[in-house]
Amino acid sequence: MRMGERVEWALHCCFNLGFVGPDVAVTAARLAAFHGLPAAYLNKQLQAMARAGIVESSQGPGGGFRLARSPQQITLMDVVTAIEGPDPAFRCTEIRERGPAGMWGTSQRACTIDAAMRQADLAWRRSLAGQTVADLMATFQNTYPAMPDRIKDWFTTAHA
Amino acid sequence: MRMGERVEWALHCCFNLGFVGPDVAVTAARLAAFHGLPAAYLNKQLQAMARAGIVESSQGPGGGFRLARSPQQITLMDVVTAIEGPDPAFRCTEIRERGPAGMWGTSQRACTIDAAMRQADLAWRRSLAGQTVADLMATFQNTYPAMPDRIKDWFTTAHA
DNA sequence: GTCAATTTACTCGGATAGAGTGTGTCCGAGTGGCGAAGG
DNA sequence: CCTTCGCCACTCGGACACACTCTATCCGAGTAAATTGAC
């Protein structure tokens, strides 16, 4: 099982957009340059977050992306769902139905194995839903007090 | 993010091998027939579990696979790790180092985002480690009391 | 009848092709700002 | 000098190739059981 790098990118973008604040829009190219990523592909992930209502997009000169709501109202679960989709990692394909046991009437109840895996998935989702972008920003600011302003400056001032 | 079907297959195999008991070995072909799966590919997963010490393999006539230890001592985490590998789903690629922020000395501490994702991964792993194959067997037997014997019979008797 | 070497058939085990998803890239649609022209 | 119209550059947005992992398969190595022959 492997989670795509896209999620990492999206989280870092939300993180930095949180420090920049909702007043200015940051282009995908600028965010890509800050992280050393391919701009066009990162743009795709930002679009996905825009569809999910996490960020707002504006076109034209001076356009770009900004957080659609407060960092306190954006959980890691929101971001992961926006990028990776809502489906759980484990998907029961009901192989118990394909063999001879399929005739034995064991499909009245939910698959025992599926239930167990769903429970683990739920624990994972709860942990993600319990952490907001604001929490990450606070932890980071606590470790590096001067960094938030530095980040905001980099994004709000012009660059070659 | 998507978990392979292999995990589902492996779990069902452990589940059924638990009911069969450690006295008789079940071939990969028999397990595949019971679930309607490709035998050679399922064999590959059983091999992976053998390498992990979850099942024991024996060659020759009368050979096959059996649980290497009690179902109570096999957790879902063991099976998932054996099939999917020990790496966590989320892997931090340290993109913070690739941009201009890489020069700002933020790599002294662990990546904030990585830490948050690791925490969620840990919750997932704890849930998996807290459930054993024996637990699943007990739940299933509680729902369908007659099934375990029926399963054992199917695997221990000859078939066309 | 007993033992042992041999054969045999059956099993796992790793090396080898094909499909699906994630990764990366491109060009077109839309939009806000800027400048020139007219009143 | 102010207003208005048109142009333009910049942005997002979706459609198009490439790579990698998962899926599936094959044939060879190894082994335990059955067979056969001698003692």
In this structure, the strands spanning A55-58 and B64-67 are unpaired
Q: Is the pLDDT of residue A160 over 60?
A: no
Q: Is the pLDDT of residue A23 over 60?
A: yes
Q: What digits encode the pLDDT tens for the residues A101-141? A: 989 988 888 999 999 999 999 999 999 999 999 999 999 99
B5-86+132-156, CATH topology level: Arc Repressor Mutant, subunit A (1.10.10)
Q: What is the pLDDT of residue A155?
A: 94
3-state helix/strand/coil string of chain A? CECCHHHHHHHHHHHHHHHHCCCCCECHHHHHHHHCCCHHHHHHHHHHHHHCCCEEEECCCCCEEEECCCHHHCEHHHHHHHHHCCCCCCCCCCHHHCCHHHHHCCCCCCCHHHHHHHHHHHHHHHHHHCCEHHHHHHHHHHHCCCHHHHHHHHHHCCCC
Q: What is the pLDDT of residue B160?
A: 56
Q: What is the pLDDT of residue B105?
A: 84
Q: Which 3 state secondary structure label does DSSP give B64?
A: strand
Q: What digits encode the pLDDT tens for the residues A46-56? A: 999 999 999 99
Q: Do A84 and B151 touch (CB under 8 A)?
A: no
Asked if residue B29 keeps its beta carbon closer than 7 A to nucleic acid strand C, the reply is yes
Cα A102 from Cα B34, distance rounded (Å):
9
Asked if residue B38 keeps its beta carbon closer than 7 A to nucleic acid strand D, the reply is yes
Asked if residue B145 keeps its beta carbon closer than 7 A to nucleic acid strand D, the reply is no
Q: What is the mean pLDDT of each run of 10 residues along chain B (160 residues)?
A: 95 97 95 95 97 95 94 98 96 93 88 97 98 98 95 86
Cα A65 from Cα B89, distance rounded (Å):
28
Q: What is the pLDDT of residue A18?
A: 97
Cα A17 from Cα A74, distance rounded (Å):
12
Q: What digits encode the pLDDT tens for the residues A64-100? A: 999 999 999 999 999 999 999 999 999 999 999 998 9
Asked if residue B43 keeps its beta carbon closer than 7 A to nucleic acid strand D, the reply is yes
Instruction: Indicate the helix (H) or strand (E) that contains B56.
Output: strand B55-58
* Cβ-based contacts (< 7 Å) between B 60-89 and strand C: 60-65
Q: Do B112 and A36 touch (CB under 8 A)?
A: no
Environment class of residue B104 by beta-carbon count within 10 Å: exposed (0-12), middle (13-18) or buried (19+)? middle
Q: Do A2 and B89 touch (CB under 8 A)?
A: yes
Q: Using the C1' atom of nucleotide D25, identify the protein residue whose alpha carbon is closest.
A: B40
User: Measured between beta carbons, which residues in chain A are less than 8 angstroms from residue B115?
Assistant: 139
Asked if residue A60 keeps its beta carbon closer than 7 A to nucleic acid strand D, the reply is yes
Q: Do B136 and A116 touch (CB under 8 A)?
A: yes
Q: What digits encode the pLDDT tens for the residues B32-73? A: 999 999 999 999 999 999 999 999 999 999 899 999 999 999
Q: What is the pLDDT of residue B99?
A: 87
Q: Which 3 state secondary structure label does DSSP give B60?
A: coil
Q: Do A109 and B34 touch (CB under 8 A)?
A: no
For the entire predicted model, the pTM comes to 0.92
Environment class of residue B122 by beta-carbon count within 10 Å: exposed (0-12), middle (13-18) or buried (19+)? middle
Q: At what angle do helices A28-35 and A39-51 cross, to 10 degrees?
A: 120
Nucleotides of C under 7 A from a protein CB: 9-15, 21-27, 29-33
